[in-house]
């Protein structure tokens, strides 16, 4: 099992259970939808692989364009830079 959570000044999220939080009047409030569909890891992998094959064969749009991956990597790099600077705000 693995899990992660992201918390910031204006909100956050957790993976397991899946929750979305927003700041409301200085308090983190759970604003998750009342019901989230569960998807197995195998189901996610199958969907991603089918999308990749369709993209290669038929030039259909990808579920996760390279630009999205680059944006995530930039955020991760910023997290490390911020941690190295004692949690100071850094540009992304």
Pair of tokens at residue 36: 């989230």
The set of residues, in sequence order, having a beta carbon less than 8 Å from that of 11 and lying 6+ positions away, is 20, 21, 22, 23, 28
16: pLDDT strictly greater than 80: no
- Say if residue 86's pLDDT is above 80: yes
What is the reported pLDDT for 54? Answer: 92
Q: Are 37 and 19 in contact (CB under 8 A)?
A: no
Q: Is 59 a member of any domain?
A: yes
Whether 44 and 82 map to the same domain: the answer is yes
Span 22-74, pLDDT tens digits: 999 988 899 887 766 666 666 777 888 888 899 999 999 998 888 999 999 99
Residues 3, 19, single domain; the answer is yes
pLDDT given at position 42: 64
How far apart, in whole angstroms, are the C-alpha atoms of residue 36 and residue 32?
Answer: 8
The pTM (predicted TM-score) of the whole model is 0.46
The DSSP secondary structure of 25-45, one letter per residue, reads: TTEEEE---S------HHHHH
Same domain, yes or no: 27 and 45:
no
């Amino acid at each position: 099992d693995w899990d992660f959570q992201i918390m910031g000044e204006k909100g956050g999220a957790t993976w397991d259970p899946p929750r979305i939080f927003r700041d409301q009047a200085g308090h983190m409030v759970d604003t998750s939808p009342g019901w989230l569909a569960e998807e197995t890891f195998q189901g996610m992998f199958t969907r991603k692989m089918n999308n990749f094959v369709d993209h290669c064969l038929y030039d259909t749009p990808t579920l996760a364009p390279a630009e999205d991956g680059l944006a995530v990597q930039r955020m991760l790099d910023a997290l490390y830079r911020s941690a190295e600077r004692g949690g100071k705000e850094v540009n992304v």
